[in-house]
Structure 1
Amino acid sequence: MSVLHLSKRHRRASVAAAALALTTALLPTFGATQAQAQETTDQKTIQQQLAAPETVCGPYGLDNDDPRTNPGGLEGEGVSLGIPHVSEAGTEGTYHLFTRDVDFSRPVGVVVRLHGDGAYEYYYPGRSMNCQAAVAASHNMVLVAPHSPSVSEYGEPIWWYEIPKNVEWVSDLLYTDILPMENVDPDNIWWVGYSGGAEFITYGLIPLAPELVTGGAVMLGGGGAPDQTYEARDAERAAQAREASAFAPARDAVDAAAAQATTAAEAAGMPAATQAVADVAAQATDAIDAVEATVFPAAGAAVETNPAEEALNSVPMHWAVGTEDDGTDEYAPFNALEAAQEGAEFFRERGIENVTLTQLEGNDHFDLPQAAILDAALTGTVDDDSTADPAPEPEPAPVQ
């Protein structure tokens, strides 16, 4: 049984507790109001997409003879845009939902598609997102495309700002609006993030809510190594474990006995005995600490106490990035190639068994075949060149 079958209150409490503990350790917040986010949304022209021509998905990697390459427009049954959602914590946001061509008489999976910084894909859902929804439907999966509740100081919707807040909101969205839908399978939830959305998956969602990643995760043009997130989370867990452990009373007993012996030695005028008591007490405390450290690893170590994290070890995690996506483009200064390489290596070192990385030769930040990548991930046919040998150095030119 999936850990998603835990009580809703328990799941939300776990997410809220993790968010509260890590708020000060994660990226800074900018205090943007929901009114600002809504104003930004209103400035865009989602409604114009309703009248857009049918999407042709060739630019997103689908062959021209693939029946999914012309999924149709956004009008009609099975496409709902801009659905509002308010989480239990009071955070407001919206999302698109694609259920077109999904058979709800059979088990239904979920693809959660997270936009990049600025939310271009969200504001223009008739393009790449429509094609990815067609791919999802071919695997009998709905596609959910939420809009980040957080915006930067410049008014850009960005997932990796206010990470705990965004984890709480998107978790609540799934538990409240999506998982209760007919025949939705909680053990088949996939996450797909592009650029900043990929960063949110690796920096926020997986460390704070791994129980939501039951099918797999696909990071497109991003998805770096969340070292600081895990260090802060593990330090908090280690501290809580120590406070609740059986070793604390033992340490307190040593301190109390040492205090009594020291008082008696001082009253008897025996300074040597006083020092001996202090030495013995220090040795006893060190021994307790040594035993405790074998049970509760130090901050920064992997503290695998969550069953969801153990289940995550076998969940497919795939990175796809272009070899030209190295931050040298003035319109894409983020080095997504390095982030993807470091992210894949980080999770591989943490014991995730099914980590793959595809580096697409000649592609940049804006021309990834996103629909084809999603299809390959869902069918388990992705290429993995993360462990390939580096290209040989060119032979030096002969001396004339």
Structure 2
Amino acid sequence: MLLLVTTVALLVGRDEVTPEAEAPETVSCARYGLDGVRVTARGPGGPTDGAVLDARVFGPGEEREDRFQLEHEHDGITSSYHVFAEDLDWDRPVGVVYHFHGDGAFEYESPEYTASCLAEVAREHNMLLVVPRTPDRAGEITWWEERDLNAQWFLSLVEERLEPEYDIDRSRTWLTGYSGGAQFISQELLADHVDLVPGGGAIMMGGGQAPDRPSAEPTSEQLQELRLRWDVGTEDDGTGPQADFDALSAAWDGHHWYEEQGFERARIRYRDGVDHFGLPYARILQRALNAAEEDSQEQS
């Protein structure tokens, strides 16, 4: 079995898009797999910018608006997060998608691109999209370095801020991550904190390696029902000049390990000719949520 050394220098998480000097009013989601779809570019600077507000300070109805650059502190560690909440039907159950950016935090720093398209997919399924920024500030910012501390900060964010402030249907909880974010999900959150996902699943894009010393004990229901998805390109093998992380081997490794642990809905997709920067992130999420919704309707 191919194994990766987690201390390998990862050049991951950098999107193919360079942010423009000024954010666009709309953005095409074609590069993220949604052909013909343009969405409002959502991000700080607009009327719903919450950068200067504490997340607990809501005016009437503001908890149902997009909020950006909200800060959360836990045990001396502070970082920030975006919440995409507009246009959801709060009279029905609202699920949640937590997206973990790759190294460099492009998805967080420029939410008007990838995150806006992911938010559109989440909206279609009446789900909140939350994009946290890793607390890491040293060197290349990552989720996978100091992942235990990063996980404690994130779990505190969920338990102390998000769940008390939003009426979240935890039975529809999804973790998505790209590259270093995928590593964080597979090696930390699912491995040590699987109770975070009582129902729903996880999507690891361009990564998702097996854990070192897992401590979580999934329930029989989680083993049967949680949908774990790996999505990786066949050219994403670490030989490219801009990405020396062997995501192909990492994804194979993670999928094989979780399947061996008894997760009955663990699946992997290999995309021919795709490298580290060519995954259709939004379409991957859309198809996973569509499949889950169809299964739920059939069961009911």
| TM > 0.5 | yes
Between the aligned partners of 1:182 and 1:167, the Cα distance in structure 2 is: 20
1:358 is aligned, of 269, 274, 289, to: 269
Is residue 2:45 matched to residue 1:70?
no
**1:183 Cα deviation after fit:** 2.9
Between the aligned partners of 1:339 and 1:199, the Cα distance in structure 2 is: 8
Structure whose residues are more often helix by fraction: 1
Between the aligned partners of 1:27 and 1:63, the Cα distance in structure 2 is: 36
TM-score by length of 2: 0.80
Q: Contact 2:170–2:197 (CA<8 Å) still a contact in 1?
A: no
Between the aligned partners of 1:331 and 1:112, the Cα distance in structure 2 is: 27
Between the aligned partners of 2:67 and 2:253, the Cα distance in structure 1 is: 37
Between the aligned partners of 1:182 and 1:339, the Cα distance in structure 2 is: 34
**1:46 Cα deviation after fit:** 9.2
Structure 2 runs not aligned, ≥5 long: 8-17, 49-64, 293-300
2:258 is aligned, of 330, 347, 358, to: 347
Question: How many percent identity over aligned positions?
Answer: 39
Q: What is residue 236 of structure 2 aligned with on the other side?
A: 325
**1:73 Cα deviation after fit:** 4.0
Q: What is residue 147 of structure 2 aligned with on the other side?
A: 163
Q: What is residue 12 of structure 2 aligned with on the other side?
A: none
1:59 is aligned, of 19, 28, 31, to: 31
Q: Contact 1:27–1:162 (CA<8 Å) still a contact in 2?
A: no
Is residue 2:168 matched to residue 1:181?
no
Is residue 2:75 matched to residue 1:83?
no
Q: Give SS of 1:169's match.
A: helix
Between the aligned partners of 1:360 and 1:71, the Cα distance in structure 2 is: 29
Distance 1:47 1:101, change over 3 A: farther
Q: What is residue 55 of structure 2 aligned with on the other side?
A: none
Between the aligned partners of 2:273 and 2:19, the Cα distance in structure 1 is: 32
Q: Contact 1:117–1:158 (CA<8 Å) still a contact in 2?
A: yes
Between the aligned partners of 1:118 and 1:364, the Cα distance in structure 2 is: 18
Q: What is residue 141 of structure 1 aligned with on the other side?
A: 127
Between the aligned partners of 2:47 and 2:26, the Cα distance in structure 1 is: 13
The one-letter amino acid of 1:52's match is P
Q: Give SS of 1:179's match.
A: helix
The one-letter amino acid of 1:354's match is R
Between the aligned partners of 1:331 and 1:182, the Cα distance in structure 2 is: 39
Q: What is residue 204 of structure 2 aligned with on the other side?
A: 219
The one-letter amino acid of 2:184's match is F
Q: Contact 2:41–2:113 (CA<8 Å) still a contact in 1?
A: no
Matches within 5 A, 1:70-149: 70-74=39-43, 75-77=46-48, 78-87=65-74, 89-149=75-135
Q: Contact 2:25–2:40 (CA<8 Å) still a contact in 1?
A: no
Between the aligned partners of 1:220 and 1:101, the Cα distance in structure 2 is: 27
**1:141 Cα deviation after fit:** 0.4
Q: Contact 1:210–1:309 (CA<8 Å) still a contact in 2?
A: no
Q: Deviations over 1:202-258 (max 9, x none)?
A: 1111121111123110000000111x222xx4xxxxxxxxxxxxxxxxxxxxxxxxx
The one-letter amino acid of 1:83's match is L
Q: What is residue 190 of structure 1 aligned with on the other side?
A: 174
Distance 1:145 1:193, change over 3 A: same
Structure whose residues are more often strand by fraction: 2
Matches within 5 A, 1:250-399: 306=217, 308-313=218-223, 314-380=225-291
**1:182 Cα deviation after fit:** 4.1
Q: Give SS of 2:27's match.
A: coil
The one-letter amino acid of 1:98's match is F
Is residue 2:184 matched to residue 1:203?
no
Q: Contact 1:55–1:73 (CA<8 Å) still a contact in 2?
A: no
Between the aligned partners of 1:90 and 1:310, the Cα distance in structure 2 is: 36
Q: Contact 1:46–1:123 (CA<8 Å) still a contact in 2?
A: no
Distance 1:141 1:196, change over 3 A: same
**Number of residue pairs aligned between Structure 1 and Structure 2:** 259
Q: Deviations over 1:83-142 (max 9, x none)?
A: 10112x232110011112111111000100000011111111111111001100110001
The one-letter amino acid of 1:136's match is A
Q: Contact 2:102–2:177 (CA<8 Å) still a contact in 1?
A: yes
Q: Give SS of 1:172's match.
A: helix
Q: Deviations over 1:18-76 (max 9, x none)?
A: xxxxxxxx978xxxxxxxxxxxxxxxx99966x42311101100021x5xx32444334
- Computing the radius of gyration from Cα coordinates, the structure with the larger value is 1
The one-letter amino acid of 2:141's match is P
Between the aligned partners of 2:71 and 2:21, the Cα distance in structure 1 is: 19
Q: What is residue 62 of structure 2 aligned with on the other side?
A: none
Between the aligned partners of 1:130 and 1:309, the Cα distance in structure 2 is: 34
